[in-house]
Amino acid sequence: MRPGGLNYIYNIMTGYNYKPPFGMDVPKGKSFNPYFDHMIIGMPRQLKDGMLDYEDGTPASTPQMANDVANFICFIQRRSGYRRPDN
């Protein structure tokens, strides 16, 4: 995982609603995301409001789903025993 761990994943998944600064050209097929290192990311937006239904009635907003995905990825990483090599 990158520095920021859980927060980095969450921010990447919710950062697609920002507009690029004036004069910044975003190539076709790419997206602007201020939380990505170079602000131009090749991954399209993955989460949209209302994509799924939670059994308990929780609204399926982009921030809620991003929180769930980020926590799941961190959980799986910890369970797998993966440890980031020391540099």
Per DSSP, the residues of 49-60 read: TTSS--TT----
What residues make up the domain containing 19? Answer: 5-80
Q: What pLDDT, in 10s, does the model give residues 28-76?
A: 999 999 998 889 999 999 999 999 999 999 999 999 999 999 999 888 8
pLDDT of residue 28: 94
Does residue 85 lie within any of the structural domains? no
Say what angle helices 5-14 and 62-80 make with each other, to 10 degrees. 150
Structural domain tally of the chain?
1
CATH number at residue 52: 1.10.760.10
**pLDDT for res 76:** 87
54 φ/ψ angles, rounded to the nearest 5 degrees? -80, 140
Query: Residue 38: its pLDDT value, please?
Result: 87
Q: Is the pTM of this model over 0.85?
A: no
pLDDT surpassing 90 at residue 13: yes
